[in-house]
Amino acid sequence: MRAILSMAMIWIMLAAHGALAQTAGQAPAMVQGTGAGDQSLPPFDLLVFLDRSKTIFTGAGAGAPNERVAEMLRTVFERQIDGGRRTFVAAGDRVNLYTFGSDVKTIAERVDGGSREALNAAVGRFGDVAGDENTDFSRLLTAVTENPVLNARDNRLKLVMIASDFVDDPFNNARRTKDKLGVCDLLDQYRNGKKTRLDPQIKSLADLLEQSAAGGSVRPYVGMLIVEPKKEDYPGLKLFADNKDNYLNCVLQTVAAAAIPTTLAENIGAEPIRYDEVANDADAFAKRFVDAVFRATLPRLLIEGGECRQRRQGIECTLALRNSARVSNAVSRVRFFPDGKDQVPFDVSANIRLAPGQAGTLTLPIPAPEAARLAAGRIVVAIEDEGVGTSARKEIGLNIPSAPIMRSIESSRTLATEPLRVTAMVENPNREPIVPKALRFFDAETAGNPLGESLLDTAAAFEPGGSAALTVAAPLMAQQRLLRSEPVYATAGFMMPDSETPLESQRLRVGIPNLTPLIVSKARVESAEGSQTEFDLLIDVQNPSGPSKRVTEIRLFSKSEGEPPVGSIVVPQGQEIGPLPVPLRLRLPSSVSQLVTGSLYVAVVDSQTGQPSAIVAATAPPTLAQLRLTKAEIRPAAEDGRFELEAVVENPGGANSSVMEISLHSGQGGPLFKRLVVPAPRRAVGGRRSQTVIFPLTEESDRDVVETRGLEAGCIDGLGKECANRITIANSLRPTPLQIRSAAWGEPKDGNPTLALDFFNPGGISVTLERLFVERPGNPAGRLQLPLPNPVDVGYQKTVRVSVVYREEIWEQAHPRDRVMLVPECKQVDCTGVKREVPALPETALIMSKEGVSWTVDGAAPSVTITVRNPLGFPQPVKSVWLAADETGRQSMLVTNYAGAARPRVPERPGELKLPVAFGQETMGLLGGEQIFLCVVGAYDADALAESFNCRQPWLAVPVGNRSAVKPVINPENAFERQARRLTVRAANDGALP
């Protein structure tokens, strides 16, 4: 009767097992992982058993449970694993398909996973299976247990899937009095004794799986996919009454009781997967199923390292773990083997879960009783996690802290008013930080009397393997002995973090401080740079012994001994002095300037001892000499358009001397022409050195200097004295004719054409363009001046663009169709030899077109409108319009002559002008034919300027517009002459065209 049910329970059981070595530290091949998330599978056998019950094979098409199971299988086959390098079912894997009901039937066996076509064909045969009314789980479990593939010991992974509605119904009825095997009978049996009739078969299957594990295989994994139908899922079932013997009620209650799934979970460790979570998502089912297989073959976590350390409350151990599997794994406890032996190990609880491929650190505090056992020797650990097989053991060390190492210890003093400070260099030989606490001082290398200690409460921890300096103020008793050069010894005290065990370094003797004064080895006075009235003191200082010292003060004396200092120089930052001489240069105060000639003595004071050095005499400065000029030149400056005067002054003497002015004179021995004052700050010329002075010049303010030849230069020093000589100023600057780099027709100005000219000055000084002409070779009119608004200055090495209007009257005498030359005229130099041809304009005549010709007849003055175009890049005025009798220009006569502002302008190409042409009475004689011939002349048309008119373009033939009809006018009184037999008719034309 279950054949009429419209929904079913599907149960999937997975059993995976293969060889697993049980020796310590060795994992089976199928569960090994070689990297983060790199768990892989060996070749496997998949056995699928599908229930033939009509609740599975409902005939409902794609939505039927058997079709959904087939689709889920295909999705499992195609699931990507190993980082996308293979599918879950691949070449070498084998698939076996069966159905069961009243018996077990084979659909396909040993189908290789590498053949997708064969796999899909085998799964497709599920659609051809006919339903069965009976479902006997006893026969199913026996067939599974006895299956030769499952029993084979071929080191292949075994996977079993059972899909069913999971109701044991061997006879398809509710009650059987004979053997109590109806659905309701079996439900009562389970409720009364919590046992199923399948317990013997389940035990046989469990024994088989346990034997596999005992023989070196992975403990099988069992999974269940459960569908839980409800009463409302069967609206068409009205066959049974609603009572306890009702078949449907017993089926639903069997589903709710989950008798067989519960038994399998308790005996085989099955994990449920609910069908309603994956029924509409084959990918979700495939992921759950594949993850279940990976979890069934889950490798143990790897112990990659670790160590134990002493702490205040005992010992703390740290393990570095890594999960090489594709699913997470958790540690539940860690087993410790003291001395690396198996006798009486102890366990410590742990709780850490690592994601696939994740590495992590597990820290475990070990209580005092167990910590005492670990301190004896070797430590071996193993972890208990969710993986299969025996966890490998790992030996880790016990880190016993070592005493710090003091490498050196010295005493010093920065200022004489401060106490001695002691600096110790200490190393940390341990693998974890140590914290410095104090430096302790003694009067002997061993034992002896303590001299006090200096605490280091705020000192930073020393990192493992690191070293650092510890600096403290020495206790008073230690200072007194060090200042008397008596031996003092010290040790460095440390503590481990979280530990009460003190660590003490060895004792070292503290170095005696260097209290020897500095030595002044040399002292002299020189003029200060840039000044003739100030002086600098130059001294060489060195430290005769011990660590470097700092000079803080220089004392000045008028005698070598017996007198107090007359002044001093403070060195604010102090200068560090070592064993080699260090030169110092400091400005002398003005109060001792009278002593520089030979009665100045100096001594230095350092900050460490506070004692002055021996007094030494300072050598007097050299004498002052007269300056000499060695060079004077005018040249272009780096900045365009500017010049500069360079003067080089030499000081042959030993004392500094400043240059105040450079004097310019007209000619050799001539009078003063101009003074150039050296701008402040004025830098003195050092003894036996030279100095270059640069004066910026501009053409606006210094043109007289730039353009005057034969000038001489002299100089005035800081004391107002002239230099020892004068020299002629070298000046290579000359005006050079301008060059016309380019010439082009430019943008029109007020409708007139313009020429855009680029003038370049290749010379050394500016040149002024004053006028600009054009000339036509052989033209008796000579040069014609172009309208240059203002003179144009062109700086040296500069290019200036000049725009000039090409006036209409110039076109008449110098038309650009001919060879016309541009001639510039400059102020400073003759530029007339620099000529450039005006850009040629070979075609300037206006172009006429019949496009859009239209006539207008207004009374007695007809007019025609034609289209005119301009070949030039600027507008061209219309000068005149001519009329002829034919296309040869015969009987040509002037129709219109435009003058001045009345001239129509034809836009530059590609523009056009609609030009109306009006005809007067004098031209009516040429309007009698079918067409007329016109010529439009532009102001820039070369032929229009000729003495005899010649149309440059072909005459434009224009059809004459419609004429008015002639009207006869007859006078009836005298129109007919009888005697002469003649009729006189007068013709009248009312139109404008003849």
Q: Can you point out the beta strands (E) in 927-966?
A: 931-938, 956-959
Q: Which of 438-452, 454-468, 606-620, 685-699 has the highest mean pLDDT?
A: 438-452
Cα 64 to chain centroid, rounded: 56
From first CA to last CA, the distance across the chain in angstroms is 120
Residue 826's pLDDT is what? 92
Which option is the CATH number for 847-959: 1.10.1220, 2.60.40, 1.10.150, 1.10.10? 2.60.40
Residue 939's pLDDT is what? 84
Closest by CA position to 475, among listed 503, 449, 514, 499: 449
The yes-or-no verdict on residue 533 having pLDDT over 80 is: no
Mean pLDDT for the stretch of residues 887-912: 87
910 preceded by a cis bond (ω within 30 of 0): yes
CA distances from 509 to 406, 419, 438, 514 (A): 11, 19, 16, 15
Return the percentage of the chain with pLDDT > 70, whole number: 87
Q: Which of 177-181, 373-377, 433-437, 782-786 has the lowest mean pLDDT?
A: 373-377
The pLDDT confidence band at residue 824, using thresholds 50, 70 and 90, is very high
The yes-or-no verdict on residue 775 having pLDDT over 50 is: yes
Residue 90's pLDDT is what? 93
CATH number of the 628-731 domain: 2.60.40
Residue 32's pLDDT is what? 41
Mean pLDDT for the stretch of residues 801-805: 89
CATH number of the 302-399 domain: 2.60.40.1930
Q: Which of 54-58, 137-141, 288-292, 508-512 has the lowest mean pLDDT?
A: 54-58
Q: Which of 56-60, 210-214, 681-685 has the lowest mean pLDDT?
A: 681-685
Between 481 and 22, residue with greater pLDDT: 481
Residue 23's pLDDT is what? 30
**What's the whole-number average pLDDT of the chain?**
81
Say if residue 417 is exposed, middle or buried (CB neighbours under 10 Å; 0-12, 13-18, 19+).
exposed
Mean pLDDT for the stretch of residues 797-817: 83
Q: Which of 473-477, 611-615, 960-964 has the highest mean pLDDT?
A: 473-477
Q: Which of 126-130, 240-244, 509-513, 663-667 has the lowest mean pLDDT?
A: 240-244
Q: Which of 241-250, 654-663, 781-790 has the lowest mean pLDDT?
A: 241-250
Q: How far, in Å, CA of 12 to CA of 65, rounded?
A: 13
Residue 686's pLDDT is what? 65
**Is residue 486 helix, strand or coil?**
coil
| Contact present, 857 and 993 (Cβ < 8 Å) | yes
Residue 984's pLDDT is what? 73
Q: What is the pTM of this model?
A: 0.43
Mean pLDDT for the stretch of residues 702-720: 80
Mean pLDDT for the stretch of residues 947-955: 80
Residues belonging to the chain:
994
Residue 976's pLDDT is what? 67
Collect all residues with Cβ–Cβ distance below 8 Å to 394 and sequence separation of at least 6. 303, 305, 306, 319, 380, 381, 382
The yes-or-no verdict on residue 26 having pLDDT over 60 is: no
Bridge partners of residue 937, in order along the sequence: 880
The CATH class for the domain spanning 2-290 reads alpha beta
The yes-or-no verdict on residue 218 having pLDDT over 70 is: no
Residue 532's pLDDT is what? 67
Between 859 and 476, residue with greater pLDDT: 476
Residue 548's pLDDT is what? 79
The pLDDT confidence band at residue 778, using thresholds 50, 70 and 90, is confident
Residue 780's pLDDT is what? 64
| Contact present, 578 and 566 (Cβ < 8 Å) | no
Please tell us whether the domain made up of 739-837 is placed in CATH 2.60.40. Answer: yes
Residue 945's pLDDT is what? 58
Identity (one letter) of the amino acid at 535?
Answer: F
Residue 819's pLDDT is what? 86
User: Of all helices (H) and strands (E), which one includes residue 379?
Assistant: strand 379-385
Bridge partners of residue 381, in order along the sequence: 336, 394
The yes-or-no verdict on residue 829 having pLDDT over 80 is: yes
Q: How far, in Å, CA of 536 to CA of 572, rounded?
A: 17
Residue 705's pLDDT is what? 80
| Tens of pLDDT, residues 378-415 | 788 888 888 877 777 888 877 777 889 999 999 887 77
The CATH class for the domain spanning 405-509 reads mainly beta
The pLDDT confidence band at residue 31, using thresholds 50, 70 and 90, is very low
| Tens of pLDDT, residues 411-428 | 887 777 788 889 999 998
Q: Where in the chain is the domain with CATH 3.40.50.410?
A: 2-290
Closest by CA position to 126, among listed 155, 158, 100, 90: 100
The yes-or-no verdict on residue 340 having pLDDT over 80 is: no
The yes-or-no verdict on residue 625 having pLDDT over 70 is: yes
CATH topology classification for 519-617: Immunoglobulin-like (2.60.40)
Residue 602's pLDDT is what? 92
Cα 211 to chain centroid, rounded: 62
The yes-or-no verdict on residue 584 having pLDDT over 70 is: yes
Residue 956's pLDDT is what? 92
| Contact present, 162 and 139 (Cβ < 8 Å) | no
